[in-house]
Structure 1
Amino acid sequence: MNERILRVLEFKKIKEQLNSNAATSLGKDLAGRLSPSIELNEVVQLQQETDEAAHIVRLNKAIPLGGITDIRASLKRSAIGGILSTEECLDVANTIYGGRQVKLFIENLEDEELPILYELVEQITPLRELEQSIKNCIDDHGHVLDNASTKLRSIRTSIRTYENRIREKLESYTRNNSNMLSDAIVTIRNDRYVLPVKQEHRGSVGGIVHDQSSSGQTLFMEPKAVVDLNNQLHEAVSKEQEEIERILKELSEHIASFEHDLYANVIVLAKIDFMFARAKLGQKMKAAKPKMNDQGYIKMQQARHPLIPIDEVVPNDVEIGKTYTSIVITGPNTGGKTVTLKMIGLCTLMAQSGLQIPALDGCEMAVFKDVFADIGDEQSIEQNLSTFSSHMTNIVDIIQQVDHQSLVLFDELGSGTDPQEGAALAMSILDEVVSRNARVIATTHYPELKAYGYNRENVVNASVEFNVETLQPTYRLLIGVPGRSNAFEISKRLGLDQHVIERAKGLVGVDSKSVETMIASLEKSQLDAEKDYEQAHEILLESEQLRADIAKEWKQLEQKREELYKKAEEKAEKALKKAREEAEFIVNEIRQMKSNVTLKEHEWIEAKKMLEDAQPDLSKKQKKSVEKKTTEKQDLKPGDEIKLLTVNQNGEVLEKINDKEYMVQVGIMKVKVKRNDLQLLGKKKQTDHKPVATIKGSNYHVRSELDLRGERYDDALLKLEKYIDDVLLAGYSKASIIHGKGTGALRKGVQEYAKRHPHIASARAGEGNEGGSGVTVIEFR
């Protein structure tokens, strides 16, 4: 970017505002050197930096940058062997402390998305030891402390002793010889303690005269009695200075040893302060982060000129670079054309400098290689150039450099010469710049250019609105509508006779009248469209709110439904748990009955009734679900294998009582059950010669062996427990548990379970023909 464009668009004023928002001299230095970048990646990085700082500013959190100064000159002097002053050493310590506070502040924001700031503070070296060394020697006022060294403490003790003795002697003299003194005080001349002696008593006092009053009536004399003490005091003061210089030299060397770390800290702190200065400026301007592109596309909603107070400026919508690459703005003087032109140019420079722009969120800005502007009257008396010549000199220079990566701003293009020639020249210049695919925004007074946008591709007309009723511009930019002449309306409002106005209208050409009529129609259409848009926007907002309310109610309904389902599931689970407990009780009762020699009929009847009553009372929904899964309304026949769902036991159909009830054999019991509680496992097999254990003549179908290989330990023991119950119901005398060899853990678990079970008489490893140690053979009592 050339200096001329920065001056014309008043970029310097933006830098001055940025400077006032920097907290340190480091940040102010970077603000003063701010310039737009032409690299997209760099601009995107700068905008991201500003956005991170703006995020913290929006949280109303102030970053602690106090005490940080530019110590680079001091570091350079210390590195070449120079001795730093106490103030310079103190600046180094304060900068170290400030850097550490900044680092701590950013690190404590760990819940925020701040990758750039986190990376920056990682580079800050705390250097606590160096800071402490300086603070142990120098106080906050820049004075070297007595504790800086043992020798300095001793010297200063002797200095105070000499001063006290001198004062005691001189004060004693003032009390005893006050008539010889102009004033009874002890003062200092040439770093020595003296008394104000009257001229006539000079001989009586004796000693060394160091000064006299302007009248010569008072001599400031050092009495002989304190000369030696003053000499000793001077000698101690000289030693003190030598020791202070030695201490400062030692501190300077210590600082020099950390030159690289300190310099790196300063660079990081400068960048952080600069980031927050940009963020604070954006907050004051109510600015937004723009999305950057290198396609020449600009879109700003409610954009404002950055240098006009917010309560005075009129915001406007601006878009260029997609459907059209050029805008020709027409309208009256003082209507805001030049302000709009400068606003677009200045916002572009700000965006390319990493600054946020005063517009609504969602704005988009382009990175241009060059921004050119021909704005204002730059007539040069020295070069003997007229206004027109000055403009043309600038335009010629622009045309020689412009390309597709340029933004060109023309203010009153073609002015300063014959209107007809100026208009033709303006159109030709626009054609040339537009043909190079540059982004062009031009303002003009020429009526010929009002139709320019209709005859050219990639060009659109625009105007600044004028209120004929108030005879004042509204400063609103109307894209797509050229400006029309308001001379007749203004003259009428100001009182010009109607017949004069009508005569003037008769002198206007037909073409001009048609254009004005067309423009008036366009303005009306534009205003109507804006009103329709506002109404549609309000309806859209209401619809979105209604949609949000419906979605909220639907979510609440879903949650309520889930809660009801959950309650139903809990109820079903409790019922099933109760059924399992009752079934377990029934099985235990049956086991006890088996041990009896004779079974009483009422005990069988009671057991069957308990089994029937064990069916859980499920909710309708769950019961229907169970019925759907378990009852296909298939007709069951005697001999079919079934599962009694209420006790989870397999059995066989004995006979069909009716369509809803069957008599089934479960173990040693015959039970009448409902069809809904039966699940068909398989039809009666006509030719099934597979051997099935039938010990004691039982028809209960269960194998005489259980294969647990591949099962997890806990799952295997659960299956074993279920299997033992099944074989006991079937009346087996023994069974084989296949567990494999493996680690032996499962074999051990099976054998320990067998030892604890009351109905298992013994458990042994299988013989060679039974599977060996991979099988445990269980015998029942």
Structure 2
Amino acid sequence: MNKRILSTLDFDKVKQMMAQYLVTAQGIDEINQLVPVSDSQVIHAWMQETDDALKVQRLRGGIPIPKLENIRPHMKRIEIGADLNGVELAQVARVLSTTSELTRFINDLEDSEIEFFRLYEWKKELITIPALNQRLKAAIDEDGRVTDEASPDLRIIRQNIRRSEQTIREQLDSIVRGKNAKYLSDAIVTMRNERYVIPVKQEYRSIFGGVVHDQSASGQTLFVEPKQIVESNNRLRQHQIAERNEVARILAELSAELVPYRQDILHNAYVIGKLDLMNAKARFGKEIKGIVPTISEENHVVFKQARHPLLDQEKAVPNDITIGKDYQAVVITGPNTGGKTITLKTLGLLQLMGQAGLPIPAEEESQMGIFEEIFADIGDEQSIEQSLSTFSSHMTTIVDVLGRVDEHSLVLFDELGAGTDPQEGAALAISILDALGAKSAYVMATTHYPELKVYGYNRANTINASMEFNVDTLSPTYRLLIGVPGRSNAFEISKRLGLDTQIIDEAKQIMDGESQDLNEMIADLENRRKMAETEYLEVRHYVEEAQHLHDELKEAYSFFFEERENQLAKARKKANEVVSEAEEQAEKIISDIRKMQLANGQAGVKEHQLIDVKTQLANLHQDEGHLKKNKVLKKAKEQKTLKTGDEVMVNTYGQRGTLLKKMGANQWQVQLGILKMQVDEADMTPLTPQKEPVQRVIHSVRSAESSHVPNQLDLRGKRYEEALAEVDQYLDAAILAGYPQVTIVHGKGTGALRQGITEYLKNHRSVASYSFAPANQGGNGATIVKFN
């Protein structure tokens, strides 16, 4: 990709916007090196990383990466045998600890079974070094100071330093607060040349003896180390020297421990930089309300509701920008300040962003192409140094473009042919567009020339477009209208501003007929567009109402399904209670009979006693009279009553048939195609008669081999209620088809759908057993169901 286009379309400004979200030096290096590419595989990988980062942003608020400095110079120094200081070791330690934290964070995402395209691959690139990480954390604090835990000797030395300092301060405090305090300039203890001293008036220097280390600017105060603490200060100094030597030894030791791992540490920093860039892309995408577009290998560009990323996203007017599928050239006409140039730049910049793996400010289902080169001639590039006029400058650029363009190029021209005689400029513009069309390049050009409106109408693979202008408010709306050429609104604007109508009429007469006809054609097209837009909005309203009704019905069905299961569960429970109660009463009656037999001996049970027992057993029967009075049940029973000529579905064979005559209490003779069969009523389902006769086809008895029911049901991506409803219907169909077993694919996900299906199968009367599929067939992402 040529570097000039990155500057022309402000791609570098987009990178600057994104750079503010980076927190690592390696991430800043990554974005500095980021440029659009034309390699399809690289773009796919970058887009997948962006998609992963946006998902982490939504689910966990982003990837946790702290501020990290550039450690490449540090690794270079230890490679040549130099020692790192405390601050440099702390920066290396921060990289190692960040590596461990990121590994734990991504492992947690993996344990939650959240799917990503590339994130888990980057996690595998991270190399944790726990022992070295712990050693550095224990020896160096975040500010680069060597801690007391770095070595036992250092701890002892620092304890001695603290004790010496305490002794010296106590001795000096006794002087400052004692009888000799009057000889001091101030009652304080301070330090000079790393030794504790007191401020003594110049004339009393001999009173304290010791060593003079400094004096004030006026010479009236001397900073004296009293003779009684000289020895203590000497001991303190010795401890401080020992501390310095021990710290230097520890830093050298830690630096040497880094040497074997320097490549691993550098690679970790590189991976963290990549993750930092992914994070920045996600945060930038959130700011611009961006999405990850799909990629069209045929270069069919469809940017839905696209916005320029450098504009205020709340105020920018979104537009649908398309090129490549139905037309390869778009000619945008219309007056200035209407938004033509910004539309041109939006197309080019969004394409550059996409080819750099960045999210674009557009709506979902947008798609981008892959161009090997993007060329643009936008703005006034008049060169004073080279004595080139505006026209000459434009033509120099165009000549360069025509020499390098091919079928994989996108060309953007602003005010094509401007800066010269209108007739010559229009002719040149048409010839240039023809030359680009001959090379199958993709072109979007803006112009004022009316001749190009006719060109866009007549040329194949070319379409007119314009920016909408509101004549009532005398202002542009910044909306792109594809298929409608722009027209001059001079007459309407002049009329609204109060220009005499006679002057306007004379001006219309002066215009040649062709221009007048063209303007009338454009006006007619605009009217038709507005009518179509009105009809679209009306249809859209009905579609939304239908969608709302569909959602309500879906919710009602889900409620019905759940309520049905609840009622069945209650009915089963009640039936079990009734049966249990009847069993208890029957047992009691049988026990009573046995007692009577024992009591009466050989005489047996008397007749009136047997009658009484029979009456008790008959009383166990539940009265169903109230059900006969139930109108709803009565109507349902009437509907289920079969009669000659009814159409039914024979469940065993899955075939539609007609009842011929009744053969017994529950048996019917049924016509199935050319066959007549005797079928039990329990095996039939009444059907409504077909409205139109259909040609009868001889069907064989339905079997697993001839059935169109698949032996696998895929529920991935389905909502919970919808999936359970599908399972219910599918199992019935599979049982009728005679399958011994089927597979239900539900995926792993959060496990909610898998649990729901397991609970359903547990209560299904026809399911003999169920278990997860083998590892090579989906593991716990699929369930194998076997039937009775």
Give the TM-score normalised by structure 2. 0.71
* Structure 2 match to 1:451: 454
Task: Answer yes or no: is the 8 Å Cα contact 1:9–1:345 preserved in 2.
Answer: yes
Q: For the residues of structure 1 that align with 2:270 and 2:541, how far apart are their CA atoms?
A: 50
CA shift digits 1:599-654 (9 cap, x unpaired): xxx9xxx9xx9xxx9x9999999x999998996599xxxxxxxxxx9xxxxxxxxx
* Structure 2 match to 1:413: 416
Task: Answer yes or no: is the 8 Å Cα contact 1:296–1:439 preserved in 2.
Answer: no
CA shift digits 1:503-525 (9 cap, x unpaired): 22221101110001001111111
Q: What RMSD, in angstroms, separates the aligned Cα atoms of the two structures?
A: 4.1
CA shift digits 1:494-553 (9 cap, x unpaired): 222222222222211011100010011111111111111111122122223334444555
* Structure 2 match to 1:505: 508
* Structure 1 match to 2:319: 316
* Structure 2 match to 1:114: 116
Task: Answer yes or no: is the 8 Å Cα contact 2:303–2:367 preserved in 1.
Answer: yes
Taking the TM superposition and a 5 Å limit, the aligned residue runs for 1:202-217 are 202-217=205-220
Q: State the shift of 1:230 in Å.
A: 2.9
* Structure 1 match to 2:308: 305
Q: For the residues of structure 1 that align with 2:326 and 2:335, how far apart are their CA atoms?
A: 27
Is 1:162 aligned to residue 168 of structure 2? no
Of residues 466, 480, 490, the one that matches 1:463 is 466
TM-aligned CA distance change 1:195 to 1:631, over 3 Å: closer
Of residues 362, 371, 376, the one that matches 1:359 is 362
* Structure 2 match to 1:261: 264
* Structure 1 match to 2:386: 383
* Structure 2 match to 1:129: 131
Is 1:238 aligned to residue 246 of structure 2? no
Task: Answer yes or no: is the 8 Å Cα contact 1:195–1:222 preserved in 2.
Answer: yes
* Structure 1 match to 2:725: none
TM-aligned CA distance change 1:632 to 1:62, over 3 Å: closer
* Structure 2 match to 1:664: none
* Structure 1 match to 2:147: 145
* Structure 1 match to 2:104: 104
Q: For the residues of structure 2 that align with 1:452 and 1:633, how far apart are their CA atoms?
A: 77
Q: State the shift of 1:556 in Å.
A: 6.2
CA shift digits 1:371-410 (9 cap, x unpaired): 1100001111111111111111111111111111111100
* Structure 1 match to 2:12: 12
Tell me, what secondary structure is at the counterpart of 2:38?
Answer: coil
* Structure 2 match to 1:667: none
TM-aligned CA distance change 1:628 to 1:84, over 3 Å: farther
User: Which residue identity is paired with 1:340?
Assistant: T
Taking the TM superposition and a 5 Å limit, the aligned residue runs for 1:335-354 are 335-354=338-357
Of residues 465, 472, 475, the one that matches 1:472 is 475
Q: State the shift of 1:266 in Å.
A: 1.7
Taking the TM superposition and a 5 Å limit, the aligned residue runs for 1:729-748 are none
Q: For the residues of structure 1 that align with 2:501 and 2:316, how far apart are their CA atoms?
A: 36
TM-aligned CA distance change 1:206 to 1:424, over 3 Å: same
Q: For the residues of structure 2 that align with 1:138 and 1:44, how far apart are their CA atoms?
A: 42
Q: For the residues of structure 1 that align with 2:145 and 2:173, how far apart are their CA atoms?
A: 29
Name whichever of 540-549 and 36-45 sits farther off: 540-549
Q: For the residues of structure 2 that align with 1:126 and 1:438, how far apart are their CA atoms?
A: 50
Q: For the residues of structure 2 that align with 1:321 and 1:189, how far apart are their CA atoms?
A: 79
Task: Answer yes or no: is the 8 Å Cα contact 1:576–1:616 preserved in 2.
Answer: no
Q: For the residues of structure 2 that align with 1:160 and 1:560, how far apart are their CA atoms?
A: 78
* Structure 1 match to 2:32: 32
User: Which residue identity is paired with 1:385?
Assistant: L
Q: State the shift of 1:312 in Å.
A: 1.6
Task: Answer yes or no: is the 8 Å Cα contact 1:471–1:490 preserved in 2.
Answer: yes
Task: Answer yes or no: is the 8 Å Cα contact 2:374–2:410 preserved in 1.
Answer: yes
CA shift digits 1:421-472 (9 cap, x unpaired): 1110011111111221111000001111111111210000000111112111
* Structure 1 match to 2:82: 82
Q: State the shift of 1:2 in Å.
A: 1.7
Tell me, what secondary structure is at the counterpart of 1:462?
Answer: strand
* Structure 2 match to 1:484: 487
TM-aligned CA distance change 1:387 to 1:301, over 3 Å: same
User: Which residue identity is paired with 1:441?
Assistant: M
Q: State the shift of 1:569 in Å.
A: 10
TM-aligned CA distance change 1:401 to 1:232, over 3 Å: same
CA shift digits 1:570-616 (9 cap, x unpaired): 9999999999xx9xxxxxxxxxxxxxxxxxxx9xxx9xx9xxx9x99
Q: For the residues of structure 2 that align with 1:158 and 1:569, how far apart are their CA atoms?
A: 84
User: Which residue identity is paired with 2:441?
Assistant: A
Taking the TM superposition and a 5 Å limit, the aligned residue runs for 1:655-666 are none
Q: Please identify the structure whose Cα radius of gyration is greater.
A: 1
Q: For the residues of structure 2 that align with 1:200 and 1:632, how far apart are their CA atoms?
A: 135
Q: For the residues of structure 2 that align with 1:476 and 1:449, how far apart are their CA atoms?
A: 20
Q: For the residues of structure 2 that align with 1:633 and 1:139, how far apart are their CA atoms?
A: 91
TM-aligned CA distance change 1:176 to 1:21, over 3 Å: same
Q: State the shift of 1:561 in Å.
A: 7.7
TM-aligned CA distance change 1:570 to 1:144, over 3 Å: closer
* Structure 2 match to 1:3: 3
* Structure 2 match to 1:50: 50
Task: Answer yes or no: is the 8 Å Cα contact 2:62–2:279 preserved in 1.
Answer: no
* Structure 2 match to 1:519: 522
Q: State the shift of 1:554 in Å.
A: 5.7
Tell me, what secondary structure is at the counterpart of 2:410?
Answer: strand
Of residues 274, 294, 302, the one that matches 1:291 is 294
Q: For the residues of structure 1 that align with 2:226 and 2:567, how far apart are their CA atoms?
A: 108
CA shift digits 1:153-198 (9 cap, x unpaired): 2222333343334334444444343343322322211222223233
Of residues 521, 533, 537, the one that matches 1:534 is 537
How many positions carry a matched residue from both structures?
Answer: 629
Of residues 190, 194, 197, the one that matches 1:191 is 194
Tell me, what secondary structure is at the counterpart of 2:118?
Answer: helix
User: Which residue identity is paired with 2:24?
Assistant: T
Is 1:496 aligned to residue 495 of structure 2? no
Taking the TM superposition and a 5 Å limit, the aligned residue runs for 1:616-635 are none
Task: Answer yes or no: is the 8 Å Cα contact 2:308–2:346 preserved in 1.
Answer: yes
Q: For the residues of structure 2 that align with 1:556 and 1:210, how far apart are their CA atoms?
A: 92
* Structure 1 match to 2:732: none
TM-aligned CA distance change 1:279 to 1:62, over 3 Å: closer
User: Which residue identity is paired with 1:152?
Assistant: L
Name whichever of 249-258 and 9-18 sits farther off: 249-258
Identity percentage of aligned residues: 48
User: Which residue identity is paired with 1:417?
Assistant: T
Tell me, what secondary structure is at the counterpart of 2:219?
Answer: coil
Unaligned 5+ residue runs, structure 1?
583-601, 635-644, 646-781
CA shift digits 1:7-42 (9 cap, x unpaired): 111111111111112233332332232211211121
Q: State the shift of 1:43 in Å.
A: 1.0
Task: Answer yes or no: is the 8 Å Cα contact 1:51–1:289 preserved in 2.
Answer: yes
Q: State the shift of 1:203 in Å.
A: 4.5
* Structure 2 match to 1:641: none
Q: For the residues of structure 2 that align with 1:558 and 1:224, how far apart are their CA atoms?
A: 98
Is 1:91 aligned to residue 95 of structure 2? no
TM-aligned CA distance change 1:88 to 1:478, over 3 Å: same
CA shift digits 1:267-297 (9 cap, x unpaired): 2221112112111111111112100123221
Task: Answer yes or no: is the 8 Å Cα contact 1:286–1:358 preserved in 2.
Answer: yes
Q: For the residues of structure 2 that align with 1:576 and 1:161, how far apart are their CA atoms?
A: 90
Q: State the shift of 1:557 in Å.
A: 6.2
Tell me, what secondary structure is at the counterpart of 1:121?
Answer: helix
Q: For the residues of structure 2 that align with 1:628 and 1:151, how far apart are their CA atoms?
A: 107
TM-aligned CA distance change 1:87 to 1:498, over 3 Å: same
